[in-house]
Homo-oligomer: A and B are copies of this chain.
Amino acid sequence: MNLKSITIALAVALVCGFSYAQTSTEGVKEDFKPSPLNQPGQEYPQVNSQGYARFRIKAPQADSIRVSLGLGGQGGTRLSKGSDGFFTGTTSGPMDEGFHYYHLTIDGGVFNDPGALNFFGSLRWESGIEIPARDQDFYALKDVPHGNVQQVLFPSKSTNMQRRAFVYTPPGYGKSTKKYPVLYLQHGWGEDETAWSNQGRANLIMDNLIAEGRTKPFIIVMTYGMTNDTRWGGIRDFKIDAFQTVLTEELIPYIDANFQTIANRNNRAMAGLSMGGMETHSITLNKPDIFGYYALLSGGTFNPDELKDKVKPHLIFLSCGSKERPDGVKKAVSSLKEAGYNAVSYVSENTAHEFLTWRRSLKELAPLLFRQN
């Protein structure tokens, strides 16, 4: 089955309201391969060309293992125990393309799959699996010049601690005195500052876009956005003040003092996914003199009323997956355009509130940034 026919198969499955409750394995192609996100040398979990995932876990004396990946009516995929002491099972339907978090429930306790790499989501390191996407080339590790991702520890008086950020610098950064624009890019709820590089592959997306001459090179700064007690309490009581102080009064001055940045509004953007979009929305409205470009990835919308009487952004970018609420994004962009704003919408096909939506959104956003300088 080639990529085109996979695409068609997926599209048909979606259009026909493919039932995840089925347990038959009829029609499941036996071309399973290890997930690209497995630990070194691990054969499982595996994925096939249709997007099915298969798991295999050793636990000879265990009674039950369930995989949380969202299929079936029982809250995931139940694995069956074989006489060899291994539990195995296959999802009852194809998964969406891209990255998914998951975990195992073993005899009532929650653990990670020892075969898979871990990614920080849901406030903890969880197992990750990757269903190769038809357009996976844009986030692949290729033989092109690579930028670096560096861990920065910066002092934060407002929170009385040393805080961490990751900074992507484009290929060639530092070899001359050239200065670069900066995108501040935020993760979602339950994730942290590692998410955009690990799950999001932001560095590889940028390396590939730059190699193709499709975007200006720029710096990306990623830090932890759950500064206040939303950490354990959910986002209901979210107040932006604590994070806004860290970002605008501590991190941005630190980055401008320590990296080769063009330190002005025309060369500073803010974007975030999900909760990070909510933060971007609040902070850019509160501090329109600091940021010239705003982007919300599955993270809400702007409306013209919120923006009036403020300095105008050069770009408002709103995106989401086609399985989220694309109409809301499109309508918001229409309203913004009517009101005279440079607004762009992007909808990722056949993806939901997951990282392939956001990888694709970054790929679409990057070339639109920093055109006014």
Contacts and interface: CB of A to CB of B under 8 A. Distances in A.
Interface string A159-202: 00010000101000011000000000000000000000100000
A124 interface: yes
Contacts of A114: 109-112, 124
Given A146-B162, A152-B148, A59 B231 contact: no
Nearest to A155: B143
A60 interface: yes
B151 A62 contact: no
A227 to B, nearest CB: 13
A123 interface: yes
A107 interface: yes
The oligomer's copy count stands at: 2
B152 A146 contact: yes
A335 interface: no
Contacts of A357: none
A109 B60 contact: yes
A40 interface: yes
B61 A107 contact: yes
Quick one: which of A118, A149, A153 has the most chain B CB within 10 A? A153
A41 B122 CA distance: 12
A111 B60 CA distance: 13
Nearest to A123: B40
A27 to B, nearest CB: 31
Contact of A150 (B61, B141, B150): B150
A371 interface: no
B108 A59 contact: yes
Interface in A194-220: 197, 203, 207
A141 B59 CA distance: 39
Contact of A118 (B125, B174, B175): B125
A111 B105 CA distance: 12
B41 A123 contact: yes
A107 B64 CA distance: 11
A107 B109 contact: no
B61 A64 contact: yes
A107 B108 contact: no
A63 interface: yes
Contact of A112 (B41, B111, B146): B111
A47 to B, nearest CB: 20
A201 to B, nearest CB: 12
A8 to B, nearest CB: 33
A165 to B, nearest CB: 10
Contacts of A260: 174
A178 to B, nearest CB: 12
A148 B151 contact: yes
A258 B170 CA distance: 12
A58 interface: yes
Question: Which 6 pairs show the lowest CB-CB distances between chains A and B?
Answer: A59-B109, A150-B150, A61-B107, A60-B108, A146-B153, A62-B107
Interface of A: 39-41, 57-64, 85, 104, 106-112, 114, 117-118, 123-125, 141-143, 146, 148-155, 162, 167, 169, 174-175, 197, 203, 207, 231-232, 258-260
5 contacts: A39-B124, A41-B231, A63-B107, A151-B203, A175-B258
Given A141-B153, A142-B162, A149-B150, 19 more contacts: A39-B125, A40-B123, A41-B232, A58-B108, A59-B106, A60-B107, A61-B108, A62-B62, A62-B108, A62-B109, A106-B106, A106-B107, A111-B112, A111-B114, A143-B155, A143-B162, A148-B151, A148-B152, A149-B151
